[in-house]
């Protein structure tokens, strides 16, 4: 079978969507001839011309603001924020407009647009290049938040983001861009809002999304070799959230650890922990633990491995799940 | 970069066609509006003024949550709407209700937001009038997007984007001008410089020779105009719209006017400006000046005036007749997304349950 | 005793701080002659002159950015964002600089500044005027987040925000601005990071902050009349967070409901629920419930009372705390 | 608003004092730099060029995480630092390491950020050099604040704020100019227009006659200068610094230059520009031109050149000698706040515990 990277899958999704739907346009900083700093838009200007994939002036509020207008007038824009800290200049446009337009016009004006944001660390990047900002978007009512952890999901979720009428913040785990995967086009990706059990297990559930998924899977492998069976759930979409899959897993295992790269305080991991604690209360044999980035600014490359949730920290948290009571 | 700065800079003083006494001062300009156009504009001015007064009164009666009046700025409001073709778009702020009404939106629907009802009361797509925008200058970028979209499809649409003097200080203002210029988007940016951003006078807002001078740094053709002279506004804006439609790119127009009323009813202008300053602007009123000119040229007579007044009263009566909105709890959750997430469905059920128990109790 | 409003207490705090410390300067939109749209800066320009309390051009990123520079160069700026949605244009300055400067310079450059933000609903305001954005700030490492619910705390917390060397996002509950209170200057406000039990109780703990505190207190009164004793904890500062007081209360009562105005998903309420669920796991007789704003954009005035957490919803949540098991 | 737009607009073409052949073209200008000043500048250019080359080489060897080189722009770098007095401030971007070194910061410390060590390696307060800033244009506002603070205290400080052509499109650029002008802050904004923002050429960035034309819309005096002519830069920037210091408010200078290297080592310029374009700029190199002039006027000889080269080699050797940073886990938590919150203390304990078990194991 053909091998494809996550970045390549995204590129293919954009290309296929642009072929299928004339209204799809791609723009942002360096997405044209350069193909984006991560090459996700590689070749699109060449295939579709300057009018469908183009560079803009360097202004993120401008990019998102213009996307709003184009979406109001018949297009389906896909914009790229170069790194996730560089989406912050667009925060007002995203929170006050992208998220609210459908609602404030009672459905009369919809904004079918996608804001692609490379996110997370693990690439040895310098300051402002490794943030995880999913909590800001997930907390904002009116935004859908998708984040793939595999090339297949990257393709499927981006295609589905490009079919609905609601805006999607599409978070791409930078460190997985170059991970290669066999490509099996016959596997369809389910609609947004469906988490997936990436690895079945019986003793505890690791709940993760995006860049944390492979780490959780690694942890599960190590745990297995130590005789503990961990189930790994990959959320795929943070909004909508799949309570059903998550709770079914925790109901089965009775224990849960949430794994996420972002600082833990008031985060998506907090939400997951709170929901699971509430909804699976009677099934839980131990408190839900969180293994997240610390509540510090993302550190310089030399400190990255200390900061990021890794296999050891996950296994420590699993060890803490009151097994002595079993 | 070949654009000639001289071509981009505004004229040394604002364009005026009819002076404060109602006398034509540049009657020989080829773009001087026709008597019919001026009469139309005057009719809309009369309605607009009455609309402003009535809305303000409704706030005092507690029937509107808030109203930012364009009293004194009606010439800008009317001209901005009247120079547009049906397929053009208008992007108004919270202060531009009169422009929206002039564009043909139902006056009662126009006030939906301020009535405390659901945010936007008219069909933005049908009227090609964007929802009124409060976060300052943000809508200018949307206008660029709408214009660029039309241009990509080869449609002759022009977008009229409104903002105030204060809003020109926001980063989004500069980004909008820049994007529009780079993409040659058919957008006319009309800055209503009413001298104040709430309490902050223009002198604290900018040290520029004029706000129209903000165009050249983006390669945008700029002009300034007497914002209380509806004839000058019609002439200058018609030209700008025509150039934008012809593919000459965005246009920046600064209209010099004055916010005669408070910022909103909640504001207390006595804290930051003296009454004498306001008094100076009364003789420059856009209505009296236009009426004087039209009477002087024999276009306006008592009968016509009576007709306009009657229309204005009809609009005012409609505003008064409107009652407070009835709420439908389902609307809280219905339009967050095309179809509610499971989480929203749970929350909606919670509200339904709570309300049903209230009814039972 | 003299009566004072919360807005009045803030005004007095600014005035006293400006008298005590020449480096304190106040600026923002309409804070000068107008005294701010909520009159919190009333009279400051008159007393201290244009150089210490002044209006700026209308640009929030500009305001915060300039405050950063002034803080780098010897001043202690207090800036006002007019309404909380209007702080979003400053989001990049706040998240990428205000929050990170001390850390990225290893303490060499500190930013002793206060960003005052009126927040929350309950005033019948139109769109963009009633948001609750505490989660965005609380999630951002490096920001302290204070939010008073009483005039005395408003005074004390603002004074203490103006003594440290770290930036503070100071969230002022709009709907409480005009609430009058007896002023007892002899009551000292404890340092940041100390929650307070506003009302003792034995059956369950309501955990709240800012505008939700009076609602929680009302709910506790009603509950008392129905024979249920609710303790009310007021966080006062979200960052730092007072685990000790919160956990001690829940350990005593065994039940908890978190009350907050902001949409619940990935919120400060999520964090509180997650922490309490984790740290008080063995004391909890029921899952921690959250009573928050719904996950919808803040609605128009006519819908406000449906949206905001009210006494009924709080009592419903309390009723749900598995009392039958007692 | 009384400021005369003519006074604010830049000259029709960039100021040049020494042409590409090293010949003085405006030698009679009173502000033509002295031989001593030019020799100092040349010495710094030689060091700067070597610094750029060495840093780039270190990236290829995997010893720096990344390096955005100012190769070709060294004249801007050197002049920006050399026109400042000791108490003035410099606000650099990620590309302005050479300006920082010229200002007197230790070259090894200057590269801390790019070495992957803690973010800022020099003492910003001691040197009056702000940390290098990556979020584009944001630092310009900090510069305004620093300048305004100094002005409020009556100090004669001037702030030199650097940014690139791309950064002028960010809203913060406009806000910074506007705030500076309204508060008459003593800030010199130096835009190094190196024709590219990563892959995006100036023509897609702006439709303005020049980037210096962005000043007039804020009432900021503006000028443009040949950015590869260190003499012109010294003259124009010295004038701007003097005017800012004299209380004449902010100054905007656009320097026309070229990014000869890739955006950073991670970039692949072959995707967006042809080699021939780069070749055109080689004869305009700031070093050869200055050397030619100084040799022609007898100020530079082989001995002096050898001295400068030796100093450059010393700097390069120091960069090469620096080893990879050692990490101290405690630093993760130590400076988030003045004193760590209880939550941070818990997290620090977790890391300590994890590491101690690793050591034990
Ligand atoms: C981003 C943002 N900041 C602040 C406000 C609050 N605000 C509403 S109107 C206004 C003044 C606007 O002045 P101007 O642009 O001159 O328009 P005018 O009200 O005079 O028509 C302010 C500060 C806002 N709506 N949006
Ligand atoms: C707000 C923001 N958006 C995007 C980026 C990513 N980025 C880094 S450098 C750069 C190009 C900057 O171009 P220019 O201002 O001309 O400076 P140059 O790199 O040419 O010196 C971009 C887009 C950033 N650092 N900050
Ligand atoms: Mg105004
Ligand atoms: Mg550049």
- Inter-residue contact C195 to C238 (CB < 8 Å): no
**C2-183 and C196-323 agree in CATH topology:** yes
CB-CB neighbours of B111 under 10 Å: 25
Rounded-to-integer distance, Cα A290 and Cα A269, Å: 7
First to last CA, chain D: 73
Indicate yes or no: CB of C124 within 8 angstroms of CB of B171.
Answer: no
The strand pair at D251-256 and A237-239 is best described as unpaired
Burial of D78 (0-12, 13-18, 19+ CB in 10 A): buried
C302 upstream amide cis, omega within 30 of 0: no
Instruction: Please tell me the predicted confidence (pLDDT) of residue B1.
Output: 38
- Inter-residue contact A6 to A154 (CB < 8 Å): yes
What does the pLDDT look like over D231-242, one tens digit per residue? 999 999 999 999
Instruction: Please tell me the predicted confidence (pLDDT) of residue D3.
Output: 61
Instruction: Please tell me the predicted confidence (pLDDT) of residue B322.
Output: 86
Name residue, tokens 């397929």: B87
Question: CA A111 from chain center: how many Å?
Answer: 20
First to last CA, chain B: 73
DSSP track, B124-186: HHHHTBPPPB-STTHHHHHHHHHHHHHHHTT----EEEEEETGGGGSHHHHHHHHHHHHTT--
| CATH number, span C196-323 | 3.40.50.920
* A29 CA closest ligand 2 atom index: 23
| Greatest CA separation for chain B | 75
D284 DSSP 8-state letter? G
Chain C residue with minimum CA distance to B67: C126
**Which residues, including other chains, have CB under 8 Å from residue B303's CB and lie 6 or more apart?**
none
Q: Which of residues 235-264 of A touch C (CB under 8 A)?
A: 238-239, 241, 262-263
Chain C residue with minimum CA distance to D175: C62
Chain D residue with minimum CA distance to B7: D209
Instruction: Please tell me the predicted confidence (pLDDT) of residue D358.
Output: 78
Chain D residue with minimum CA distance to A295: D344
C-beta of C65 in contact with ligand 1 (< 6 A): no
At residue B122, what are phi and psi to the nearest 5 degrees? -120, 165
Indicate yes or no: CB of B332 within 8 angstroms of CB of C303.
Answer: yes
What does the pLDDT look like over C79-95, one tens digit per residue? 999 999 999 999 999 99
Selected residue of D167, D208, D247 to mutate for chain B interface (largest B Cβ count, 10 A): D208
Rounded-to-integer distance, Cα D228 and Cα D230, Å: 6
Ligand nearest to the CA of residue B137, numbered in listed order: 1
C-beta of B180 in contact with ligand 1 (< 6 A): no
Show the CA angle centred on residue A168, arms to residues A164 and A174, nearest 5°: 130
* Residues by chain with Cβ below 5 Å of ion ligand 4: D 164-165, 194, 196-197
Q: Which residues of A are catalytic?
A: 129
| D177 has pLDDT over 60 | yes
Chain B residue with minimum CA distance to D137: B171
Indicate if ipTM > 0.95: yes
The strand pair at C168-173 and B251-256 is best described as unpaired
A43 touches chain D (CB under 8 A): no
CATH superfamily of C2-183: Thiamin diphosphate (ThDP)-binding fold, Pyr/PP domains (3.40.50.970)
Indicate yes or no: CB of B3 within 8 angstroms of CB of D207.
Answer: yes
Bridge partner residues of C234 (DSSP): C196, C208
How near does any CA of chain B get to the CA of C276, in Å? 22
Residue D204 alpha carbon to ligand 4 centre in Å: 12
What does the pLDDT look like over A221-241, one tens digit per residue? 999 999 999 999 999 999 999
| D68 has pLDDT over 80 | yes
- Inter-residue contact B327 to C302 (CB < 8 Å): yes
Instruction: Please tell me the predicted confidence (pLDDT) of residue B223.
Output: 98
**Which residues, including other chains, have CB under 8 Å from residue D135's CB and lie 6 or more apart?**
A85, A86, A88, A89, A128, C92, C96, C97
C263-277, D5-19, D66-80: segment of lowest average pLDDT: D5-19
CB-CB neighbours of B324 under 10 Å: 12
What residue segments make up the domains of chain A, in order of their start?
2-183, 196-323
Rounded-to-integer distance, Cα D106 and Cα D314, Å: 12
Indicate yes or no: CB of C126 within 8 angstroms of CB of B172.
Answer: no
What is the 3-class SS of chain A, one letter each residue? CCEEEHHHHHHHHHHHHHHHCCCEEEEECCCCCCCCCCCCCCCHHHHHCCCCEEECCCCHHHHHHHHHHHHHCCCEEEEECCCHHHHHHHHHHHHHHHCCHHHHCCCCCCCCCEEEEEECCCCCCCCCCCCCCHHHHHCCCCCEEECCCCHHHHHHHHHHHCCCCCCEEEEEEHHHCCCEEECCCCCCCCCCCCCEEEECCCCEEEEECCCHHHHHHHHHHHHHHCCCCEEEEECCEEECCCHHHHHHHHHHHCCEEEEEEEECCCCHHHHHHHHHHHHCHHHCCCCCEEEEECCCCCCCHHHHHHHCCCHHHHHHHHHCCCHHHC
The strand pair at C168-173 and C180-182 is best described as unpaired
Residue D134 alpha carbon to ligand 2 centre in Å: 7
What does the pLDDT look like over B238-247, one tens digit per residue? 999 999 999 9
Q: With contacts defined as CB-CB under 8 Å, which chain D residues touch A125? A: 65
Intervals of chain A under pLDDT 70: 325-326
Please give the helix or strand (H or E) that residue D77 lies within, else none: helix D74-82
Mean pLDDT of B258-282: 95
Rounded-to-integer distance, Cα D131 and Cα D138, Å: 12
- Inter-residue contact B251 to B188 (CB < 8 Å): yes
Question: CA A244 from chain center: how many Å?
Answer: 19
Instruction: Please tell me the predicted confidence (pLDDT) of residue C326.
Output: 57
Selected residue of C24, C65, C69 to mutate for chain D interface (largest D Cβ count, 10 A): C69
Instruction: Please tell me the predicted confidence (pLDDT) of residue B129.
Output: 98
C-beta of D196 in contact with ligand 2 (< 6 A): yes
- Inter-residue contact C138 to C271 (CB < 8 Å): yes
DSSP track, B82-111: HTS-TT-EEE-BTT-HHHHHHTT--HHHHT
| D4 has pLDDT over 80 | no
Residue D106 alpha carbon to ligand 4 centre in Å: 25
Instruction: Please tell me the predicted confidence (pLDDT) of residue D2.
Output: 41
At residue B41, what are phi and psi to the nearest 5 degrees? -60, -40
What does the pLDDT look like over D196-240, one tens digit per residue? 999 999 999 999 999 999 999 999 999 999 999 999 999 999 999
Instruction: Please tell me the predicted confidence (pLDDT) of residue B188.
Output: 98
Q: Which tokens sit at B7?
A: 């071509």
Alpha carbon dihedral C6, C11, C15, C16, in 10-degree steps, equals 0
D64 touches chain A (CB under 8 A): no
* B163 CA closest ligand 1 atom index: 15
The strand pair at A230-234 and A196-199 is best described as antiparallel
Q: Which residues of C are catalytic?
A: 129
C-beta of B166 in contact with ligand 1 (< 6 A): yes
Residue C53 alpha carbon to ligand 3 centre in Å: 22
**Which residues, including other chains, have CB under 8 Å from residue D226's CB and lie 6 or more apart?**
D14, D15, D16, D17, D232, D233, D255, D256
The residue nearest atom 6 of ligand 1, judged by CA position, is C82
Burial of D304 (0-12, 13-18, 19+ CB in 10 A): middle
Instruction: Please tell me the predicted confidence (pLDDT) of residue C325.
Output: 63
How near does any CA of chain B get to the CA of D167, in Å? 11
Rounded-to-integer distance, Cα A284 and Cα B24, Å: 83
| B4 has pLDDT over 80 | no
At residue A237, what are phi and psi to the nearest 5 degrees? -125, 130
Show the CA angle centred on residue A262, arms to residues A261 and A263, nearest 5°: 120
Rounded-to-integer distance, Cα A82 and Cα A285, Å: 43
First to last CA, chain C: 45
Instruction: Please tell me the predicted confidence (pLDDT) of residue D360.
Output: 65
Instruction: Please tell me the predicted confidence (pLDDT) of residue C315.
Output: 97
What does the pLDDT look like over D93-123, one tens digit per residue? 999 999 999 999 999 999 998 998 887 889 9
pLDDT grade, residue B126 (50/70/90)?
very high
Q: Which of residues 129-158 of B touch A (CB under 8 A)?
A: 130-131, 135, 138, 140-150, 152-153
Instruction: Please tell me the predicted confidence (pLDDT) of residue B28.
Output: 83
At residue B308, what are phi and psi to the nearest 5 degrees? -65, -45
Rounded-to-integer distance, Cα A81 and Cα A71, Å: 17
Kindly tell me the sign of the dihedral angle through the C-alpha atoms of B114, B119, B120, B121: negative
pLDDT grade, residue D1 (50/70/90)?
very low
Rounded-to-integer distance, Cα B212 and Cα B177, Å: 12
Q: In what order do the strands lie in the sheet with C204-208?
A: C196-199, C230-234, C204-208, C256-263, C289-293
Mean pLDDT of B158-185: 98
Rounded-to-integer distance, Cα A181 and Cα A150, Å: 8
* D168 CA closest ligand 2 atom index: 15
Rounded-to-integer distance, Cα D189 and Cα D89, Å: 12
Instruction: Please tell me the predicted confidence (pLDDT) of residue B2.
Output: 41
How near does any CA of chain D get to the CA of B8, in Å? 9
Q: In what order do the strands lie in the sheet with C76-80?
A: C53-55, C24-28, C76-80, C114-119, C168-173, C144-146, C237-239
Residue B111 alpha carbon to ligand 2 centre in Å: 43
Instruction: Please tell me the predicted confidence (pLDDT) of residue B361.
Output: 58
Bridge partner residues of C55 (DSSP): C28
Indicate yes or no: CB of D134 within 8 angstroms of CB of A294.
Answer: no
Selected residue of B217, B219, B224 to mutate for chain D interface (largest D Cβ count, 10 A): B217
Rounded-to-integer distance, Cα B296 and Cα D56, Å: 77
Percentage of chain B modeled with pLDDT above 70: 98
How near does any CA of chain C get to the CA of A114, in Å? 19
C-beta of C82 in contact with ligand 1 (< 6 A): yes
| C155 has pLDDT over 80 | yes
- Inter-residue contact A90 to A64 (CB < 8 Å): yes
């Amino acid at each position: 079978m053909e091998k494809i990277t996550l970045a390549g899958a995204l590129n293919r999704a954009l290309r296929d969507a642009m072929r299928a739907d004339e209204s799809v346009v791609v723009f942002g900083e360096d997405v044209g001839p350069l193909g984006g700093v991560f090459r996700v838009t590689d070749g699109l200007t060449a295939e579709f011309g300057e009018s469908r994939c183009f560079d803009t002036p360097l202004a993120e509020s401008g990019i998102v603001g213009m996307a709003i207008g184009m979406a109001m007038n018949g297009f389906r824009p896909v914009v790229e924020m170069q790194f996730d800290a560089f989406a912050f200049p667009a925060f007002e446009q995203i929170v006050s407009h992208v998220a609210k337009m459908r609602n404030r016009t009672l459905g009369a004006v919809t904004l079918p647009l996608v804001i692609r944001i490379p996110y997370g660390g693990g690439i040895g990047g310098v300051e402002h290049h490794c943030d995880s900002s999913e909590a800001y978007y997930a907390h904002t009512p009116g935004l859908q938040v998708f984040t793939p952890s595999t090339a297949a999901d990257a393709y499927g979720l981006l295609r589905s983001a490009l079919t609905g009428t609601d805006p999607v913040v599409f978070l791409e785990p930078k460190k997985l861009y170059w991970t290669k995967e066999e490509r099996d086009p016959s596997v369809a990706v389910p609609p947004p809002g469906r988490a997936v059990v990436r690895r079945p297990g019986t003793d505890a559930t690791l709940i993760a999304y995006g860049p944390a998924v492979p780490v959780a899977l690694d942890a599960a492998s190590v745990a297995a070799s130590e005789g503990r069976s961990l189930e790994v759930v990959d959320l795929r979409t943070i909004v909508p959230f799949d309570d059903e899959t998550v709770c079914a897993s925790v109901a089965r295992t009775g224990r849960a650890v949430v794994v996420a790269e972002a600082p833990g305080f008031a985060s998506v991991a907090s939400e997951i922990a709170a929901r699971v604690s509430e909804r699976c209360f009677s099934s839980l044999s131990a408190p839900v633990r969180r293994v997240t980035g610390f509540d510090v600014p993302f550190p310089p490359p030399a400190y990255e491995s200390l900061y990021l949730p890794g296999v050891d920290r996950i296994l420590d948290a699993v060890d803490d799940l009151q097994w002595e009571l079993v | 970069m070949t654009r000639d700065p001289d071509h981009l800079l505004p004229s040394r003083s604002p364009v005026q066609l009819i002076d404060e006494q109602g006398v034509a001062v540049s009657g020989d300009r080829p773009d001087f509006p026709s008597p019919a156009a001026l009469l139309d504009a005057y009719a809309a001015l009369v309605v607009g003024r009455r609309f402003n007064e009535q809305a303000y009164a409704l706030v005092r009666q507690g029937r509107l949550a808030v109203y930012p009046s364009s009293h004194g700025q009606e010439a800008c409001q009317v001209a901005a709407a009247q120079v547009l073709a049906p397929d053009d778009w208008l992007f108004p702020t919270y202060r531009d209700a009169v422009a929206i009404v002039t564009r043909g939106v139902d006056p009662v629907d126009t006030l939906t937001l301020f009535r405390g009802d659901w945010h936007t009361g008219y069909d933005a797509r049908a009227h090609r009038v964007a929802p009124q925008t409060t976060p300052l200058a943000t809508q200018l970028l949307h206008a660029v997007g709408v214009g660029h979209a039309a241009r990509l499809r080869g449609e002759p649409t022009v977008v009229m984007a409104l903002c105030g003097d204060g809003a020109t200080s926001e980063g989004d203002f500069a980004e909008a001008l820049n994007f529009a210029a780079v993409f040659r988007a058919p957008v006319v940016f009309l800055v209503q410089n009413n001298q104040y951003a709430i309490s902050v006078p223009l002198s604290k807002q900018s040290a520029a020779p004029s706000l129209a001078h903000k165009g050249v740094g983006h390669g945008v053709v700029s002009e300034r105009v007497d914002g209380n002279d509806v004839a000058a506004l019609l002439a200058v804006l018609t030209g700008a719209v025509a150039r934008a439609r012809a593919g000459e790119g965005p246009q920046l127009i600064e209209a010099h006017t004055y916010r005669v009323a408070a910022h909103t009813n909640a504001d207390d202008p006595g804290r930051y400006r003296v009454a004498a300053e306001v008094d100076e602007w009364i003789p420059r009123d856009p209505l009296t000046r236009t009426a004087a000119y039209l009477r002087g040229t024999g276009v306006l007579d008592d009968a016509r005036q009576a007709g306009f007044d009657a229309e204005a009263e009809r609009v005012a009566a409609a505003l008064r007749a409107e009652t407070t909105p009835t709420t439908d709890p389902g609307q809280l959750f219905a339009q967050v997304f095309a179809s509610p997430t499971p989480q929203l469905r749970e929350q909606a059920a919670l509200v339904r349950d709570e309300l049903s128990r209230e009814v039972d109790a």
